[in-house]
Amino acid sequence: MTTLERSSPGVERSLDEAVMIFDLPAILADLKGEITWRTGRRNAVTLLKQPGLRLVLVALKAGAEVASHETDTPVILQGIEGRVAVRMDRDEHVLTAGHVLTMRSGATHAVRAESEAAFLLTLASEASHPAETPA
């Protein structure tokens, strides 16, 4: 079993253990302490990468956006803190702490932080997602 309590940029760690536990508040605090956060609009860390499954913690500054894109896999967003607006066609859904939003494969969407926010992104895929790229 692996327990991840801190985000450690540049440090190799396993992303695929049989059992993994994540201390999200501690990891999020570390993300917000990194240079990428201080100089950019968002930061993210991949917590889990297994065949067909990825788990990513994403932090966004107020007003930060993930541009419109189409999913190639089912996606789950779970609000951790703050408010995130998810635009899908003409609809907008607001995600706050404790709320979960699901999308089918092929859904076109964009994400905008209405306040400083964080969410867990679960992808039924091994491919990168635009939210993982610093901006």
Question: What CATH code is carried by the domain that includes residue 13?
Answer: 2.60.120.10
**Range of 8's domain?**
2-127
Helix, strand or coil for residue 7?
Answer: coil
Task: Report yes or no on 134 lying in a domain.
Answer: no
φ, ψ of residue 30 to 5 degrees: the values are: -65, -45
Task: Report yes or no on 68 lying in a domain.
Answer: yes
CA-nearest of 93, 84, 92, 91 to 58 is 84
- The pTM (predicted TM-score) of the whole model is 0.85
Task: Report yes or no on 109 lying in a domain.
Answer: yes
Query: How many domains are there within the chain?
Result: 1
pLDDT of 89 reads 86
Q: Residues 6 or more apart from 74 whose CB is under 8 A from it?
A: 102, 103, 104, 105, 123, 124
pLDDT digits 0-9 by tens, 34-87: 999 999 999 999 999 888 899 999 999 999 999 999 988 899 999 999 999 999
pLDDT digits 0-9 by tens, 81-103: 999 999 998 899 999 999 999 99
The first and second tokens of residue 64, run together, are 């930060």
Q: Where are the alpha helices (DSSP H) in 13-130?
A: 24-31, 35-39
pLDDT of 5 reads 55
Taking residues 108-121, what's their average pLDDT? 97
Task: Report yes or no on 135 lying in a domain.
Answer: no
Taking residues 120-125, what's their average pLDDT? 89
pLDDT of 1 reads 46
